[in-house]
Chains A and B, each alone.
Chain A
Amino acid sequence: MKKSNLLLGLAGVLILISLIAWGYQINKGLIVTNMRNPFSWGLYIATFAFFVGVAAGGLIISSSVYLFNIEKLKPFTRIASLSAFASILGAGAMIFPDMGRVDRVWNIFVYPNFKSPLVWDVVVISAYLLITFLSVYVQLLPDWKKEGRGFLNGWTKSHPQEYVEAFSKKWSKRVALVGLPVAILIHTVTALIFATQESRGWWNTAVLPPDFVSVAIASGTALVLVIALLAVGKDQFEQYKEAFQRMALIVAGSLVVHFFFVAVDLLIHGWWGSPEGKEVLSLIFSHYGFLYGTELLLPAFTMVFFLTKKGKNSFNALIIGSLLLFIGVFAHRLMLMYPAFNSIPLTLAIPGAGIESWAYPVAIGQLQEGVPVFVSSWAYMPSLVEYAVALLPFGLLLFVVTLALRMYNFVPQK
């Protein structure tokens, strides 16, 4: 109880800091970020993509229970759905501070342009939010009935306990099965926001959507794993060990697929040897080598670690492996932005001068002492305000998960 108070307090502080920073940003404009015209999406969109990714876990776990009959995972379907709901809530919330005119976002609903992948993303993310909520709701119904509490469940009063149990069972399965394609879609459509843009070579590849799915399954399952471990505690680790090992295996397996996609992607960017391809490769391997190294090495470590006995047999090992994976995946999301924005689409060859690729400078949108107005690359580093605002989804996730775990029973005893 005490620990959860502390966590709730922490979540509250994170949310508060972020809201204050966001208020400041609304007042001053996005000038308080370090994004500018040449680098127009940054930490916010990367964080959004990260949270969309970890939202996958829930329905992957619950639907694999029903689809592949993995009974071992059954005790954790509630936690899985909860983690998915909290993550997608965080992802959705992260989008708003990135909008320069948050007061007008309703225009998306009034005048939707269905050619825009962004509109589709709004649709699938809203659907996923609803489905994950329903998934948590139907699973908790029998408990609520027994304990005589809960919300939106007045209708169960007139039914016997057995009916509610059967209802919950039937609908948990249905929701999980409907949810699975939507879970796949949120990653596909989010990836399509980027992948459709032929102007940005780094994004414009058909491998991006399937790769998003593989990273999402890995990081989403890892989040369920971490929450499940913390909810169960070290003492009961042995009791649920097989379920944890199964999740670790899902994480490792989808990372194998991810690295396959990464390898194919790099090969195709590099093989032709065009100036654009070379530029992207030099950006990721030399200029942003550290970040890219983080993106590759940490998940690679987790992948191998989770395949070994040592990695999947202890509480601490599973937690550490998952945390390293999260850092790696976050770096992966940031690396969506750097190579894409720092290779300017309008590059020209000037054969007479022996120049193969020259980037046409872009106006940054601000006049400031010591900073050129026209640049051909922008050394983006998030500002303090951006870091603060980006705490929002972290705070929300922590808050929702802690509160739910504290109020209701999410690990049903066998």
Chain B
Amino acid sequence: MRLGMVIDLDRCIGCRSCAVACKSHNAQPPGTWWNRVFTPGASFHQAAVGKDGALQMESLPVSCQMCDNPACQKVCPSGATYTDEQGVVLIDYERCIGCRYCIAACPYGVRQYNWEDPKKAKERVGYEKGYEYGYPEDFRDKDGRLVFTPNRPVGVVEKCTFCAQYTSQGEEPACVRGCPGKVRIFGDLDDPNSEVSKLIKKRQPIRLKEELGTSPKVFYLAPAKPIR
């Protein structure tokens, strides 16, 4: 089993619902976003770009690309970053030493550091006292590694886990469920009959920064909206 995702850019309206669902389900502290959506070319989201009066406005969601050749994992000195048996790149929050080498290594800017204690950060920013959001419990992989906890320890790196706490129960990631446009299709890349595999065969997807040889397991279907 190799879990992967197809993102159909034709359908994406740039509403950022996936980013919000991701942020709250995974209890991300203020200023931390595992999943981002931007308008390529624009300095802020939802601003059209173009020249000679021909404007365009696409949206591009980016979270961890779940590389098959993950630089983040190779640089990690303590083996805190690892790939599980489903091909998902995870971080053991109890083993990470906070060296941040992986942040320098990842080409996609998806890794986020806990510069301060998330509880303190929430308090300082003024989130309502006692208000806790997201999956409420710790989640450990089958070897007992802590890959999700509602308030991460200060000084460790975090990123998208494909919602390990849900996908391990056979449910879909929060972004997939939260997307109103059904842009995201999630499934097993090893199964030729899965929807992801079929789409990849049929639609000639692209992968980000393919030239770096990271072999991402997130595939994008290029937008084909006519601008004429």
Q: Do A and B come together as binding partners?
A: yes
Measuring CB to CB, which residues of chain A are less than 8 angstroms from any residue of chain B? 28-31, 33, 35-38, 40-41, 98-102, 104-105, 107-108, 110-113, 115-119, 122, 193, 196-200, 340-341, 344-346, 348, 350, 352-355, 358, 360-368, 373-374
Does B36 sit within 8 A of A, measured CB to CB? yes
Q: Which bucket holds chain B's interface residue count?
A: 35 or more
| A108-B77, A113-B78 known; A98-B99 Cβ under 8 A | yes
Contact between B115 and A36 (Cβ–Cβ < 8 Å)?
yes
CA distance A374 to B44 in the complex (A): 9
Residues from chain B with a CB closer than 8 A to the CB of A101 are 96-98, 153, 155-156
| A115-B74, A360-B62 known; A30-B155 Cβ under 8 A | yes
| A38-B109, A199-B105, A363-B36 known; A118-B208 Cβ under 8 A | no
Closest to B101 in A: A118
**Interchain Cβ contacts under 8 Å between A and B, 21 examples:** A28-B116, A29-B117, A30-B98, A31-B116, A31-B121, A37-B111, A37-B112, A41-B104, A105-B97, A113-B78, A116-B76, A118-B75, A199-B107, A346-B109, A350-B41, A353-B41, A360-B40, A365-B114, A365-B115, A366-B116, A374-B38
Closest to A345 in B: B107
The interface residues of chain B, by DSSP majority, are classed as: loop
| A197-B71, A352-B227 known; A345-B108 Cβ under 8 A | yes
Binds A, one of B4-12, B25-33, B162-170, B181-189: B25-33
Contact between A197 and B104 (Cβ–Cβ < 8 Å)?
yes
Contact between B103 and A29 (Cβ–Cβ < 8 Å)?
no
Closest to B117 in A: A29
Contact between B56 and A353 (Cβ–Cβ < 8 Å)?
yes
Contact between B56 and A116 (Cβ–Cβ < 8 Å)?
no
Within 109-146 of B, Cβ neighbours of A (below 8 Å) are at: 109, 111-117, 120-121, 125
Residues from chain B with a CB closer than 8 A to the CB of A344 are 109
Contact between A346 and B208 (Cβ–Cβ < 8 Å)?
yes
Does B209 sit within 8 A of A, measured CB to CB? yes
CA distance A122 to B78 in the complex (A): 12
CA distance A128 to B185 in the complex (A): 52
CA distance A143 to B60 in the complex (A): 71
B105 to chain A, nearest CB (A): 5
Residues from chain B with a CB closer than 8 A to the CB of A368 are 31
Closest to A112 in B: B77
| A31-B115, A100-B97, A373-B33 known; A40-B103 Cβ under 8 A | yes
CA distance A223 to B50 in the complex (A): 55
Contact between A360 and B114 (Cβ–Cβ < 8 Å)?
no
Contact between A113 and B114 (Cβ–Cβ < 8 Å)?
no
CA distance A344 to B110 in the complex (A): 12
Instruction: Please pick, from A35, A36, A41, A99, the residue contacting B97 in the complex, using a CB distance under 8 A.
Output: A99
Contact between B76 and A198 (Cβ–Cβ < 8 Å)?
no
Contact between B121 and A366 (Cβ–Cβ < 8 Å)?
yes
Does B192 sit within 8 A of A, measured CB to CB? no
Does B13 sit within 8 A of A, measured CB to CB? no
CA distance A328 to B35 in the complex (A): 40
Contact between B40 and A350 (Cβ–Cβ < 8 Å)?
yes
CA distance A374 to B42 in the complex (A): 13
Contact between B212 and A199 (Cβ–Cβ < 8 Å)?
yes
Closest to A347 in B: B209
Most buried by A among B36, B115, B155: B115
Within 190-218 of B, Cβ neighbours of A (below 8 Å) are at: 208-209, 212-213
